[in-house]
Structure 1
Amino acid sequence: MLLNNFQADLDYAKELDKKDSLKGFREEFYLKPGTIYMDGNSLGLLSKRAEKTLLQSLEDWKEFGIDGWTQGTYPWFYMAEELSKSLAPLVGGSPEEVIVTGSTTVNLHQLVSTFYKPEGKRTKILADELTFPSDIYALQSQLRTRGYDSDTHLIRVKSRDSRFLDEDDIIDAMDETVNLIVLPTVLYRSGQILDIKRLTDEAHKRGILIGFDACHSVGSMPHSFSEWDVDFAFWCNYKHLNGGPGGVGGLFVNRKHFGKMPGLAGWFSSNKENQFDMEHTLTPANSAGAFQIGTPHVLSTAPLIGSLEIFTEAGIENIRQKSLKINQYLMNLIDNELIDLGFFIGTPREDVRRGGHVSLEHEEAARICKSLKENGIIPDFRAPNIIRLAPVALYTSYEEVWEVVQILKKIMVEKQYEKFKNEREVVA
């Protein structure tokens, strides 16, 4: 996204803030005075509405006890399905294809257990070498439980430059031995968006099912999972969707797979009309609800009710446009102020290939992140050399982005980072 008449001064940042159609949503969030939060791609901030819906669910528990399952402001028994109505437009599915449940890795285990059906030559799972480690651990585990050697049966497509993936390389790896493909929508380090539709089309041409980890895209950009004919997807709701630390995750299952018995069945896999029949034969829901396993984590789900209200009002297309613009502004400032200080932007420049954060590379990244925190900036570090900065459309201002770059420049010029060790903290 080109910025008209870009200027590197503060007045230009203030002018962009005046024209920002989403600026009113900033008041919805708890912003710590004296701090600029740039880590919303790891954990989104608490909104006042998320706090309100959590407290209301506690009130329902206090008032109704066990009757809170069917009474109160947000009855617990139907909470996941009700939330699907608000979440579905963000991922481009129908409410029946979406469910709020589990966690990212639990949902991945569920989906692989359901859709990975090795047969004949088709026994391998295709992933990539840049994906988040938890996905790899889960896929290796799934292969081992089927009696396969995960070293030989998990294909990890290599990156040509350790930053990005080339879709041609992924497609070339879709051979007759591949049974299932699991890829990220957005790479968690570089922020690259994969061509989801193209990869899905190519997988299906070869008779291969394909699913996506959407943790780093849901809430920052639109999706069209149904239209793209994606078989399944899964994600967390605590990053761009601001659902709270450890909040309940979500998954999408294409309606063409409805009626398929879940690989990991549980009580909440049931059709809700039959669930309390207490039969020992599962009657699964004819929707994504069938891929639930256990009882919903009500108090971890409740904040998402309020958070999704904000997304419905703001509109995901508007959020994406602001995200692209403010991240482009950040990159322009980096080009103008920081490139001569040893920094490199390791994120795609093209809008269509860039997610909701900027990866700034520097050999002293760990020390620089510590210095940023000392200066009131909350960044994100990824070993060995990445500072992830995420201006979030709903609560980050252009003036804050300008301030972040000025502080980064000051840290480098004054060598403030040299007082710290160049190693990550226990939680990076």
Structure 2
Amino acid sequence: MERNNTLDYAKSLDEQDILKKYRNEFYVQPGVIYMDGNSLGLLSKRAETTLLTMLESWKSYGIDGWTKGEHPWFYFSEKLSEMCAPLVGATKEEVIITGSTTSNLHQLIASFYKPKGTRTKILADELNFPSDLYAINSQLVLHGYDPEEHLKLVKSRDGETLDEKDIIEAMTDDIALIVLPGVQYRSGQVLDMELLTEEAHKRNIFIGFDLCHSIGSVPHKLQEWDVDFAFWCNYKHLNGGPGAVAGLYVNSKHFGQRPGLSGWFGSDKEKQFDLSIHMTPASNAGAYQIGTPHILSAAPLYGSLQIFAEAGIDQIRDKSLRLTDYMMFLIEEELSDYLFTIGNPGEKDRRGGHIYIVHKEAARICKALKELHVIPDFRSPNGIRLAPVALYNTFEDVWNTIQILKEIMQEQAYLKYENKRDVIA
């Protein structure tokens, strides 16, 4: 069937969808079209079951839950790491589920930022998620450097995307470390991590990536690409729940290097309870843990990662691209009269898991969408992110979202709202 803008066509795409059974695994609210999975993924029934299982082990075993039950807590981070490793293209030893995105970034900067001589600067980009920049700034201050002089930011040519040539040009002799996003949080641009890593290493610069907006929607090959480190949250596309424990990757070639920040859960597990005043770090990425695992915040991830193992990240990526491609087609077909601009890249190899549309009335439009039970994400000052998630959104969801958006624009229903964000956007 030739692509068109009819509901029947959307339904035909859903009928052919090999991942459609997974929608029933999630708590999709009746009458609601959820398009904000790139901010917080929906709860799956398996994730709920795993959390309840962990509560039961606490109830039944008390402190013995660390070594007893279906999922002994003492080894739970490592179990999750093994399940997560295929999503980033790493070995299980190179991944550890621990901490939060920003605390993990602090750990990694403390471990890989080694200013020496004229190499004192950290390279990032002006479009990066602000929390990453806050962490970089604070680490520079801790090392006695002025962030105004020692944080070098690559500029965007269009305000939405980055050009890899500009990033490579900025890899000058004064750069000690590079921290970049795998996918830009606003525009959804996928950076060429392989190319950037190769160019950084030609210049003897360590490089790491924030995978918060790519893990679970875009395949990675971190080990093959020789990336030094990476970090991510697990509550967006990986559906681990609000405040879910995060993850990090360290290339095995760096094993044996002492982490910049130490804590007892980074110990060799055979020696951790020796409680010696002299720490023996783990011989793998587990060394980068600091504190006791947050078991109840990690538990849902086990159920979620089971789904990813079954569905396969390549099939998820394929459907994600088809969903976003279809959404862009409908935006161009249905919304051409209403001054929307598509801000994300169109090319498949440069587009992540969400669509980014720009409109001067974006804040108002998002409020109108929510009133009509479509859940978008507003990004100041004028951006709307829409994330049709492969595991639980349908092509019919996409069709209905654009029809509702068209209705809002036709009727100017957004005008009754103030054009500014709520406290949480």
**What is the TM-score of this pair, normalised by structure 1?**
0.99
- Residue by residue over 1:113-162, the C-alpha shift from the partner in whole angstroms, topping out at 9 and shown as x without a partner, is 00100000000000000000000000000000000000000000000010
2:384 aligns to what?
387
- 1:159 match: 156
Structure-2 residue corresponding to 1:343: 340
- Which of 283, 286, 291 is the matching residue for 1:286? 283
C-alpha distance after superposition, 1:157-188 (max 9, x if no partner): 00001011000000000010000000000000
Q: What residue identity is the alignment partner of 1:121?
A: T
- Tell me which amino acid in the other structure corresponds to 1:23: K
Q: What SS does the corresponding residue of 1:136 show, helix, strand or coil?
A: helix
Structure-2 residue corresponding to 1:143: 140
1:339 Cα deviation from its structure 2 partner: 2.1
Q: State the AA in 2 paired with 1:216.
A: H
Residue 238 of structure 1 corresponds to which residue in structure 2? 235
Q: Deviations over 1:351-410 (max 9, x none)?
A: 000000000110000000000000000000000111000000000010111000000000
Q: 1:277 aligns with which of 268, 274, 279?
A: 274
Q: CA deviation at 1:65?
A: 0.3
Partner of 1:129: 126
SS in 1 for 2:337: helix
Alignment correspondent of 1:212: 209
Structure 2 partner of 1:65: 62
**Per-residue deviation at 1:221?**
1.2
Indicate whether 1:427 and 2:408 are aligned: no
Distance (Å, rounded) in 2 between the aligned partners of 1:280 and 1:325: 55
Looking at structure 2, the residues matched to 376 and 34 of structure 1 have their Cα atoms a distance apart, in angstroms, of: 7
Does residue 323 (structure 1) correspond to residue 320 (structure 2)? The answer is yes
1:108 to partner: Cα distance:
0.1
1:203: Cα distance to partner?
Answer: 0.2
Structure 2 CA distance, aligned partners of 1:104 and 1:389?
Answer: 23
Are positions 1:298 and 2:298 aligned together?
Answer: no
Selected match of 1:41 from 29, 38, 41? 38
* 1:368 to 2:372 alignment: no
Give, in whole Å, the separation in 2 of the partners of 1:275 and 1:260.
18
Find the residue that maps to 1:194 and give its secondary structure: coil
- How many equivalent pairs are there? 425
Unaligned runs of 5+ in 2: none
| Cα distance in 1, alignment partners of residues 333 and 348 from structure 2 | 19
Residue type of the partner of 1:319? I
Q: Which residue matches 1:105? A: 102
Q: CA deviation at 1:85?
A: 1.1
* Alignment partner, residue 47 of structure 2: 50
**Alignment counterpart, residue 196 of structure 1, candidates 193, 197, 200:** 193
SS in 2 for 1:31: coil
RMSD value, Cα: 0.5
Of 336, 356, 359, which aligns to 2:356?
Answer: 359
Pick aligned residue for 2:11 from 10, 14, 32:
14
1:143 and 1:408 map into 2 onto residues whose CA distance is: 44
**Aligned match of 1:334:** 331
Partner of 2:260: 263
Distance in 2, Cα, partners of 1:191 & 1:122: 31
1:404 aligns with 2:401: yes
AA matched with 1:37: Y
Secondary structure at the aligned position of 1:210 is classed as strand
Q: Which blocks of at least 5 consecutive residues in structure 1 are unaligned?
A: none
Once the two structures are TM-superposed, the CA of residue 34 in structure 1 deviates from its matched residue by: 1.1
Give identity over the alignment, percent.
65
Alignment match, 1:85: 82
Q: Per-residue deviation at 1:333? A: 0.3
1:161 and 1:221 map into 2 onto residues whose CA distance is 24
Q: For the residues of structure 2 that align with 1:228 and 1:131, how far apart are their CA atoms?
A: 21
2:29 corresponds, among 3, 8, 32, to: 32
The C-alpha deviation readout for 1:52-78, integer Å capped at 9, x for no partner, is 000000000000000000001111000
Q: Distance in 2 between matches of 1:340 and 1:126?
A: 41
Equivalent of 2:307 in 306, 310, 314: 310
